[in-house]
Structure 1
Amino acid sequence: MSPATLHDWHRPLGSTGLSVSPLGLGTVKLGRDQGVKYPNGFTIPDDAAARALLQQARELGINLIDTAPAYGTSEERLGPLLRGQRHEWVIVSKVGEEFIGGQSLFDFSPAHARLSVERSLKRLESEHIELLLVHSDGNDVAILRDSGIYETLAELKREGKIGAFGLSGKTVEGGLLALQDGDCAMVTYNLNEQGEKPVLDYAASHGKAILVKKALASGHACLQPGVDPVQASFELVFSHPGVTSAIVGTINPAHLAHNVACAAGVLKALG
């Protein structure tokens, strides 16, 4: 039997006109192994392993890649790795957070936003980034209201440098505000944390996009023995009509195949 894929389950990314797979590949582990919150240590994959992982993702029907300047060398590795196939991918990158000397630094000024986007375009060897998100430090509302960064992203969208924009935030208020004037919110939503559900509800009723981060958050002790935590997580995530895609950050080929099989099974069952 051929492995389950997501080719038949692509869906609109809100009202951006883009179509994306219900799982996206998170690439923090391609570029950074310091200051990351994973239960187990890992080794950053070399180019051959990274290329194989991207090829596997494509074959499994994934066309969405999540990266960020704060993910160490992730963007600059993706540029060369995606040569010749860039048109087949929808890339999400970020602005506002830098990771320097082992710690996160934040700058939400319009000037830094422009500098950051130009740098990301160069690193990704692209003239256009499909979706750009503000990488929040948690002060979502203040960033959106006071920094001028959202206005700058709207300008970059008009200039054609980015296709859509939004916020990777940490609060309900920030997520709702982000969707009023932007295209997408990235929210935490999993078996342990569902506080940002009102943002999903708003997106569902306003044709906006939702990307879910930490969909497979550790801490599945609440599950019954014999219940697959990945399947249970995807049942929760994909049963909400507001969810566009969930970002999974694995660099393990077996885990990636299992995630895709679970997601395809859940989506089929949900009809």
Structure 2
Amino acid sequence: MTIPKQPFGRTGHMSTRTIFGAAALGRVKQDEADQVLDLLLKYGVNHIDTAASYGESELRIGPWMPAHRAKFFLATKTGERTYDAAKAEFERSLQRLQVDSVDLIQLHYLVGEEEWDVAMGPGGVLEYLQEARDQRLVKYIGVTGHDVVVTRMHLKSLERFDFDSVLLPFNYLMMQNETYAAGFHEILELAQERGFAVQTIKSICRRPYPGERTHATWYEPLTTQTSVDKMVHWVLAQEGVFLNTAGDIGVLPLVLAAASRFEARPSDEDMQAAVSEWDMVPLFT
């Protein structure tokens, strides 16, 4: 039932192709979080992706670290754009996670032009993260984002700095957008040339919520094993990418089960039928 591993870019770490998206821990109690840990260990998941802004996620992961730090590649994110604010936030993250260092720190949701200029400029967050790397508080630096524009902004970021990883949406419906698909493939080609890791999100997005929210995710997720299998297998069929799990502990077992059974990409006909059957709508347009 374990999930296959592959190199996480040039870091040398063999990460499970399915990474635990720890936004799912943002609003849960510690006993619920500890049950998630048991599930991760069951499937052999060895990579955790959290963020300072994910509610109490870092606090829930912290108690795992004294006994389990060596089992996980640990990543967090900062949403701050200036040196001083990022430094304060990252130091807080280390305290909450109960660790002296993390493996990866990521610039969280960097897609706005004006904030990009601040983050990448003098006195910006990138300046601090390089200093934190020099101080061995972190080994690697990445960048994340959402929306259709994220491919263009990631390419711009990669021109400015040699990031070790990127994170962006990737699912069947998103890739029907020709502009987005072209940008995504350009990032994949660059990743092959330069060796940075490509993490993907929103694999099991069904649509924007048509009404009241039913899950911790900010989109309505697919919730049957059959539907999750199709979407997860479609993502994992793309060589070289990682799938970050959805931000809800209720659907996490479905995603991990699907990943453990991956063999081949579903056909386009199967995917189109799934989109119709489950009334799927693109989250970003």
Q: Which runs of 5 or more residues in structure 1 are unaligned?
A: 32-43, 97-106, 221-225
1:163 aligns with 2:139: yes
1:5 aligns with 2:2: yes
Give the corresponding residue for 2:97. Answer: 124
Native 8 Å contact 1:192 1:217 kept in 2: no
2:8 and 2:16 map into 1 onto residues whose CA distance is: 9
1:174 aligns with 2:172: no
* Alpha-carbon shift at residue 164 of structure 1 (Å): 0.7
Aligned pairs, number: 235
Match of 1:53 among 18, 21, 36: 36
Give the corresponding residue for 1:217. Answer: 205
RMSD over aligned CA atoms reads: 2.4
Amino acid at match of 1:115: A
Q: Which runs of 5 or more residues in structure 2 are unaligned?
A: 209-223, 266-285
2:19 and 2:202 map into 1 onto residues whose CA distance is: 12
User: Which SS does the other structure have where 2:67 is aligned?
Assistant: coil
Question: How do 1:1-271 residues align onto structure 2 when only pairs under 5 Å count?
Answer: 4-6=1-3, 9-31=4-26, 44-96=27-79, 107-136=80-109, 138-139=111-112, 141-146=116-121, 148-170=124-146, 171-180=150-159, 181-194=162-175, 195=180, 196-197=183-184, 198-219=186-207, 228-252=226-250, 255-266=251-262, 268-269=263-264
1:74 and 1:52 map into 2 onto residues whose CA distance is: 14
Q: Which has the higher helix share?
A: 2
TM-superposition CA deviations, 1:225-260 (whole Å, max 9, x none)? x993322222332222241343332312xx433322
Task: Label 1:227 to 1:124 Cα distance change in 2 as closer, same or farther (>3 A).
Answer: closer
User: Which SS does the other structure have where 2:167 is aligned?
Assistant: strand
User: Which SS does the other structure have where 1:218 is aligned?
Assistant: strand
TM-superposition CA deviations, 1:172-212 (whole Å, max 9, x none)? 12212334511000101112213151323321332110111
**TM-score of the aligned structures, taking structure 1 as reference length:** 0.78
**TM-score of the aligned structures, taking structure 2 as reference length:** 0.74
Task: Label 1:137 to 1:203 Cα distance change in 2 as closer, same or farther (>3 A).
Answer: closer
User: Which SS does the other structure have where 2:95 is aligned?
Assistant: helix
* Alpha-carbon shift at residue 213 of structure 1 (Å): 1.6
Consecutive aligned runs of 4 or more in structure 1 exceeding 4 Å deviation: none
Give the corresponding residue for 1:101. Answer: none
Native 8 Å contact 1:179 1:208 kept in 2: no
